[in-house]
Structure 1
Amino acid sequence: MRITVFGATGGIGGHVVRQALAAGEKVTAVVRTSSAFDLEHPSLEVVRVPGLDAAAPLREAIDGSTAVISGVGARGRKDGPVASRSTKSILAAMDAVGVRRFVAVSAAPLGPTPGDFLNKRVVWPLINAFAAEVYADLRVMEADIMGSAAEWTIVRPPKLNGKPFTGHYRTEAGGTVSRGYLISRADVADLMLKSLSDPALVRRPVGVAY
């Protein structure tokens, strides 16, 4: 399998690249021209683009791949609509070269409201208020993905941390993991890669948490 990875210099995207290579996959990592990315591997191709709205380079990076994974997202409230803008360009490039399978990362607050008290009454209201612009961007991104011709999966994690990979986490296809407050970026990357070969997750969002 050849996988094109966007956001390869980010926390989740970086784990996706390394885990895919460790599993024996071929990877095309798409990074901005100005970004530092020094990973080398016989099965890794690095494609540098001036921006994620550069149509021709994006098509070339995706052409011939089996699937596309996007770990692109805003790192803060001042980053602007990074996720929606880049995803729109990625979907257009995928459509142009006939690649259908797409897995993207979003966030748990875009899923159904969980029934547990702490998430419902405390955690989610606080983070929605604090990061309203980020979640507004992700809502646009999700709507574009769901309205596309792609065979998509949207992965919705709660708060991310930098702890090591465990491989042990809970998922909820179409829903939100109850009492799920944390997950590592490495474990989110694991689920995104596993989603590629899971037909039950095609055209479905999936919640994930410990």
Structure 2
Amino acid sequence: MRITVFGASGAIGHLVVRQLLDAGHHVTASVRTPAKLTLADGKPTVATGQLSDTAAVRKAVAGAHAVISALGPSLKRSVKGTAVTDGTRTVVEAMQAENVTRFIGLATPSLTDPRDKPHWKPKVLPVMAKLAFPNALTELQGMTEAVTSSPLDYTIARITNPVDKPATGRIRSGFLGHDKVGSAMTRTDIAAFLVSQLTDNRYHQAMPVISN
């Protein structure tokens, strides 16, 4: 398959690109700074440009079977504005213009899915996030709404505590109040879940919570 990855040089995006290449997919890696995309093996097509560059984003998406977004907001309190939200809207618009329908991305349990039952996470996490990372929470809400309000066939994986540890191969997924899903998850396993959604039909137009 031909897959376009946004946020390809980030901690999770880099792993997504690596796993896609290992699986034999053709990858277009969208990055602002190509030097940050360091892969020992494999040769993704590198699309350089800002998310605000509509033409560059559309070019990166053209011909793709699906888009995987590893974009996420900065947790620095000094960062203001809605660059990631605006960039996600640009990606959504480019996908629609290029007739690419499958979107796979990331969020947190601070945001809810209609299939969730009452749970402490959507009550506690937004309060904590608003106090510690107010702009990041606004960005997460905006970028998620940009996707879920569109006609795209999306899967948005909600993660709580990504960690840099070896992959476990144990992935739990489901909805709050329904399924036994924890918090911590290795970034390698997060990437594996995102890649798996290219062929897994369980979570179309849904926002499952995932963990190890």
Give the TM-score normalised by structure 1: 0.87
The separation in 2 between residues aligned to 1:104 and 1:45, in whole angstroms, is 20
- Which residue of structure 2 aligns with residue 55 of structure 1? 54
- Which residue of structure 2 aligns with residue 183 of structure 1? 185
- Which residue of structure 2 aligns with residue 69 of structure 1? 68
Q: How big is the shift at 1:149?
A: 1.6
Match of 2:163 among 136, 155, 161: 161
Match of 1:142 among 141, 144, 159: 144
CA RMSD of aligned residues (A): 2.4
2:172–2:180 contact (8 Å) kept in structure 1: no
The separation in 1 between residues aligned to 2:155 and 2:90, in whole angstroms, is 17
1:173–1:204 contact (8 Å) kept in structure 2: no
- Which residue of structure 2 aligns with residue 99 of structure 1? 100
The separation in 1 between residues aligned to 2:202 and 2:181, in whole angstroms, is 23
SS at match of 1:171: strand
Q: Which runs of 4+ in 1 moved over 6 A?
A: 120-124
Q: How big is the shift at 1:171?
A: 0.3
Task: State the identity as a percent.
Answer: 31
Report the more deviating stretch, 122-131 or 177-186.
122-131
The separation in 1 between residues aligned to 2:45 and 2:109, in whole angstroms, is 31
Gaps of 5+ in 2: none
Q: How big is the shift at 1:114?
A: 6.3
1:115–1:178 contact (8 Å) kept in structure 2: no
Q: How big is the shift at 1:110?
A: 1.4
SS at match of 1:105: strand
Q: How big is the shift at 1:36?
A: 2.4
Q: Which amino acid aligns with 2:84?
A: A
- Which residue of structure 2 aligns with residue 200 of structure 1? 202
**1:89 and 2:90 are equivalent in the alignment:** yes
**1:126 and 2:128 are equivalent in the alignment:** yes
Report the more deviating stretch, 34-43 or 188-197.
34-43
The separation in 2 between residues aligned to 1:179 and 1:104, in whole angstroms, is 18
The separation in 2 between residues aligned to 1:114 and 1:9, in whole angstroms, is 36
Report the more deviating stretch, 60-69 or 133-142.
133-142
Matches within 5 A, 1:22-61: 22-33=22-33, 36-39=36-39, 41=41, 43-49=43-49, 51-61=50-60
Alpha-carbon distance change, 124 to 29 in structure 1, aligned in 2, over 3 angstroms: same
More helix by share: 1
Alpha-carbon distance change, 124 to 85 in structure 1, aligned in 2, over 3 angstroms: closer
- Which residue of structure 1 aligns with residue 110 of structure 2? 109
The separation in 2 between residues aligned to 1:205 and 1:65, in whole angstroms, is 22
Gaps of 5+ in 1: none
Q: Which amino acid aligns with 2:158?
A: R
